[in-house]
């Protein structure tokens, strides 16, 4: 998922690509999120997060 920030003139300020994982459990015919995790991909060369993927 890419999250994009814009200023008041609708110019793109920044973009970040994030990974989301959800653990679900069915209770009483309804699904509930019992675990949530988000992360950014990491560069194996630098060890830093990669926040400009498209």
- Domain assignment of residue 8, given as a range: 2-39
Does 46 reside within a domain?
A: no
Residue with the two structure tokens 């990974």: 19
- What is the count of structural domains for the chain? 1
Does 22 reside within a domain?
A: yes
Q: Is the dihedral of CA 40, 42, 48, 54 positive or negative?
A: negative
Does 44 reside within a domain?
A: no
Q: Provide the pLDDT for residue 30.
A: 96
Question: In this predicted model, what pLDDT tens digit does every residue of 1-54 receive, in sequence order?
Answer: 667 789 999 998 877 777 889 999 999 999 999 999 988 888 889 988 877 665
Does 52 reside within a domain?
A: no
Does 32 reside within a domain?
A: yes
Q: Euclidean distance between the first and final Cα of the chain, in Å?
A: 9
Does 28 reside within a domain?
A: yes
Does 50 reside within a domain?
A: no
């Amino acid at each position: 998922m890419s999250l994009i920030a814009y200023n008041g003139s609708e110019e793109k300020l920044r973009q970040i690509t994030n990974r989301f994982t959800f653990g679900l459990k069915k209770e009483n015919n309804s699904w509930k999120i019992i675990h949530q995790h988000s992360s950014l991909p990491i560069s194996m060369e630098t060890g830093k997060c990669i926040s400009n993927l498209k």
